[in-house]
Chain A
Amino acid sequence: MDIFVVGLSHKTAPVSIRETVAFAPEHIGTALAQLKQIPCIAEVVVVSTCNRVEIYAAADQGAQGIEAVRGFLARYHNLDAEQLNKHLYAHQGDAAVRHMFRVAASLDSMVIGEPQILGQIKDAYAYAVEHQSVGLIMNRFLHKAFSVAKRVRTETNIAGNAVSVAFAAVELARKIFDTIEGKTVMLLGAGEMCELAARHFVNNGVKEVLVANRTFARAEALAQEFCGRAVLFNNFADHLHQVDIVLSSTGATNFIIHPEEVQQALRQRKQKPMFFIDIAVPRDIDPRVNNVGNVYLYDVDDLQGVVSANIDERQKEAVAAEAIIEQELLQFNSWVNSLEVVPTIVALRQKMERMRRREVEKTLGQIKNLDEQGRKAVEAMSQALVNKILHQPTAGLKRAQKDAAAQPYVDALQELFELKIEPPEQGEMKQMDLD
């Protein structure tokens, strides 16, 4: 049984193609039903997001399955097959498994480490389960992909650092204060950007929000939303010493916060650190404020710089993630291989043949006066016996493989007849079955 994938993603197709090939949720059922009709395909899952459309399947012959799915995609969407094929990629065997693991672990995403993709694959799997298009192999495959993604997430820092400006601000605050919980935030100006950043802070446990805006009514409305309080814009400097974090995005053309006010506030709050975030363009806060001790000032460009540094950091973590994926790939392969019955049948036959030969030689050695014809008869009889004995179990094993239910038989045969089968490694197989 081969696992393969056919699909396209943001890396191979522009959005104009992606949107024509995408499957809306209500159409996935139909697509799965049609794919199941294709004779060589045993199990299938359709993943469709705005950045990728991929069909994962198990088939007797991978190459045949790939061609069938390519044809299906063109037919289903009424596209020119040749045109479409330019954007499609196809992998089978190891490459397909690796591809799925990388996608699930968000290594193939536009923004590496973004978490949505795993949820989208889980949805795709749920559809497939609902439409009964998955069996033993795909079940195991998808669950493995989920666990690989989880391992990557916990063992590497791939999703660790913020890649949006608002989140970056929250993370910086975490490097200044040991926790954001219980801190006080002041919003200067009530712009959208400010509101978004404030919401991130509130979600991370900020205790109190003060809002100052030139239109007091707007300040009050926003304050209500955050269960905070509004203060008069002209008096905001008087409240500076009460707040730990200042988010500023007013439309002012001149600086509204200067080092003098900040120094004053700091004295009042016994030098407890302050974090100023200036999202306004033109800037609201005099850059010299950053030179005041225990004060940290970040403007939009600074935050953008942090974001790109974080993206670099994620790239580095991706290297560790790839190593995890290779490791898991080996494990999964050994499980897939264990489903194969042929090596077991071959080993069983060889063992029987060795026994037969030994016994025939022993018998012929004991009966001295047997002529050529007699010898041949003994030989033929023993061969027939072995073939008869092995015929039914062999057929049974092959049948079981078709239903993907051969593993218990394979295990039993290997155990009872003490068969030695080269790869896959037995130890890893056993371990896999436990998880």
Chain B
Amino acid sequence: MVDRFPSPFDVATPPGAEGWERMYDWYHLFGEERREADEQRFWFQDRLHHPDVLHPYDEIQCECWWQALGAFNTRIFAMPPAYGVDQRVLNGRLYVTPIAAPPEEVAARAEEFARRAGHYYEHWDDIYAEWKHKVLGKLDEIRAIDFEPLPALEPDSVVFDHVGFSSGYRMIRDFDRLVLTMYETYQYHFELLNIGYAAYVNFFLFCRNAFPDISEQAISRMVGGLRVDLYRPDDELKRLAKEAERLGIGEQVLGSSGATALFAELDGSDAGREWVADWNATADPWFLIATDPGHPGGYHTYPTWLDSPDIPLSAVREYVRRVRAGESIDRPTGEVLAERDRITAEYRELLAVDDVAVFDESIALARKVFAYIEEHVLYIEHWIWSTFWSKSRQLSRALAAMGEFDEAEDMFFLRRYEVAEALYDTVAGWSVGSRGRGADYWRPIVAERRRIYEALRVAPLVPALGPPPDEINEPFTVMLWGITSTTVREWLTSGGDGEVVTLKGTPGSRGVVEGVVRVVTHVDQLADVQLGEVLVCPATSPAWSPAFARVSATISDVGGIMSHTAIVCREYQLPAVVGTGVAVATLRTGQRVRVDGDNGVVTVLD
């Protein structure tokens, strides 16, 4: 068995992808100047947040968390053992490595952390209320931005309201605002996230110490099950399904093909109009849901439910069918909560007397932070990132309409600094009544990058780089990415071409089930999922929720016990093995597998 992954400097450029480095920011690349340090570090591919090759423009998503996570861990809360998570882009894919704090600093950092994070824990509910206000304010700011092609003559208002600046200037200004507002929002994202995780991990390990063999699921069941906004979109789909039945239009909803045709058809009756009005009122904000297979909101390429109403409609149809089959479609929230309280009380009773106080304090804190851990995904990943990408696409259409690009999508093959350049080119040409260099300048660059992008996408995956540490001891790597010493060993040993019989992952939700595999890498493919199949996917987001009503178990490539997949499968009481790393690449649709959610093992049966 090899004991290390390839050096980043030895990974070949895929054929046809020569020159890929020019697509990404220079500071994001491995470079000869820091070769010595970088070759000593262990890098793993961040398929949780970025499962696909990055478009140059989308690199901003990585930058946002690179800086914000780092600053909060390293500089703001002084997370005792952990600095930030460093990033590099190689062959269009994002690799990350957590940086440990120097051991001699840990004691002093611990003191600071207690003071600083302690303040947050003590005032968590108030701070979270403030936080929501702040973050939803940013959403309003981004929503107010509007990119239209610049007018031939400025409207009267520019003159008679004494605006004092041109639409061209405003376009340049608003692009900066768009980027900065997004950047600012991601500061807030990490304001609460990692200290929240620390409190959660603490409770987790406390339980492990007090009850040595306790399962991950038992611990998270003591904390989860809250009625949080993250589940609201799926609840709204169910409500719309029941409404359709109540209004007597269930048959119509089931029958028609596309959302557009259906809505037109429903316009013919009072009941239909009432339902469509309900749909429209619900859609903003609850259908502002990103459909990425990885971390939601990570790419500009995936539509939201709002952009593609066929996606939520197919879910509503599924719920109508299930209501008609006499099934209960409501999440068993009451049961989950009752079970949570029962489990908690029974473990508590079994504790040593002297541990009860710290147990009470730790679980109360874990539950408080857990609401944030779940809900921030909706507010930031779905609502704000989706709006950011939607505004970016609006800008790309405006620039294409003004001749800066041949087609709107071209803009996303430019780095964000290049987009600022293109914008200035357009605005300058518009302002003086001349024309910029525009599409003629970008055409060969974009054409080359499109070729490279396709070549990168089909290149074989390299899951990790460099020498793995003896043990993975960075709390967030384990909790969030589901990457453990065991995972890394699996990666090292599964390099061969031998037939894979078992996959190991993290037990995400208990239970053992056998079934037929359905590999799904894009939310569009969810329609193919047959009742009772085992869903195999890179990762899931709330956009995938309707699938959980149909499948018998889930296997994901990425994610730990706190991943969306694991949380939702526990809610639906489906077995799940998460963070297998290679399920999508290894398993084929139609294969029979056994999913052992108790032990985190998937066995191929044929």
Query: Is B one of A's binding partners?
Result: no
Interface positions of B (Cβ within 8 A of A): none
